[in-house]
Amino acid sequence: MRIYMTCILLLASFSLTGQVQDSLVLRFNEYLGYVKRYHPIAKQAELALGIGQANLMKARGGFDPKIEVDYDRKAFKGSEYYDRLNAAFKIPTWYGIELKGNFEQNDGEFLNPAETVPADGLYSAGISMSLGQGLWINDRMAILKQAKYFKEQSAADRDLLVNQILYDAARAYFDWLRAFKEANLFQNFLNNAEIRFEGIKSKAASGDIAAIDTVEAKIALQNRALSVEQAKVRLMKRSLELSNFLWMNENIPVELQPNVIPDVDVGVEIDTTLEIFGKPLDSFSIENHPKLKSLGYKIEGLRVEKNLKANKLLPKID
């Protein structure tokens, strides 16, 4: 459901203008600030970045040390049948090498002879590694590499999505500004047509000109009045289009009040708002475009998958 901006919100956010009495100016930088902070698509873009970070943390968890403990005991009628303890830890490393350690202690009257160990327990340690399949890359390594590329790809996609919504929002603002200026221009035309009509009517009344000339002036006045109404309709349409980009916290949509107007002197702050002030054109590199960066990281992730599948064609030698 659409809601209207309250006067308190507008007074806190916008500046008063002297051009139109009791009007409030929605400045371009304030408008884009609201879009970037509260628009649902901009929020969704930030969530995508969080998903990339979560996937990276999950992939890194594959290299966390693991500790396993297995304890089993049975006693019946005062007799201890068996008491078995088996503890192990594993430390996976980057190049497919896994460090292992184990401690085993068994006791009991009915213990399987194969499980007999020294009274202080049995310690063991070792290293496992693959010499064929899994030496240079394995599933765990591939998942981590792909997660890193996916995180960077998510950041580029976030920038691309935010840039698109800001571009669409900026176009909506300038369309609104153009419609506002057109409405004022046609209103001036109407005022001039009214002055002209009154002058011609006075001349016709005094006999200086023929009365038929007032008909032409009246038609011109009505045409100007029609143009003003059409300009007002276009201005209202552009205002509604602009409202599509205005949201408040908790995903509450906002609709502009009729007394909110655009900043007619926006040209002096466009470069500053878009953060391009003082930057020459040759300082922008096409390689830094978010779309190209996103595709580049996607290609790198696919290359990792290709290498993993090629590695799985090698024989298993552990």
Helix (H, G, I), strand (E, B) or coil at 108: coil
Q: Which residues of 127-152 are buried (b: 16+ CB within 10 A; e: fewer)?
A: eeebeebbeebbebbbbbbbbbbbbb
Question: CA-to-CA distance for 266 and 264, rounded, in angstroms?
Answer: 6
Choose one of 137, 158, 173: the last residue of a domain.
137
Host domain of residue 119: 63-137
In a domain, 186, yes or no: yes
Global pTM value: 0.70
- pLDDT, one tens digit per residue, over 40-96 is 888 888 888 888 888 888 888 877 888 888 888 877 777 777 778 888 888 887 777
In a domain, 253, yes or no: yes
Residue segments in the chain with a per-residue pLDDT below the cut of 70: 1-21, 271, 275-284
Co-location of 126 and 144 in the same domain: no
* pLDDT value at residue 275: 66
CB of 136 closer than 8 Å to CB of 123: no
Residue 128 CA: distances (Å) to CA of 69, 84, 93, 96, 103: 20, 25, 11, 8, 17
Co-location of 120 and 32 in the same domain: no
Identity of the amino acid at 8: I
* pLDDT value at residue 9: 35
In a domain, 262, yes or no: yes
In a domain, 315, yes or no: no
Co-location of 42 and 124 in the same domain: no
Task: Note the helical H segments in the chain.
Answer: 7-13, 28-38, 40-60, 139-206, 213-243, 270-273, 290-311
Our measurement of the distance from residue 189's CA atom to the centroid of its chain's CA atoms, rounded to an integer in Å, reads: 45
Co-location of 163 and 258 in the same domain: yes
In a domain, 317, yes or no: no
Co-location of 166 and 206 in the same domain: yes
Co-location of 77 and 97 in the same domain: yes
Choose one of 90, 110, 137: the last residue of a domain.
137
Co-location of 166 and 90 in the same domain: no
Co-location of 156 and 261 in the same domain: yes
Co-location of 238 and 171 in the same domain: yes
Residue 1 CA: distances (Å) to CA of 22, 34, 35, 244, 253: 27, 19, 18, 12, 7
In a domain, 129, yes or no: yes
Co-location of 239 and 115 in the same domain: no
Question: For residue 32, how many other CB atoms are within 10 A of its CB?
Answer: 18
Co-location of 75 and 93 in the same domain: yes
Residue 249 CA: distances (Å) to CA of 38, 246, 253, 254: 6, 10, 9, 10
Q: Total structural domains in the chain? A: 2
Co-location of 197 and 222 in the same domain: yes
Choose one of 83, 103, 137: the last residue of a domain.
137
Run of H or E including 123 = strand 122-128
Identity of the amino acid at 57: M
* pLDDT value at residue 43: 83
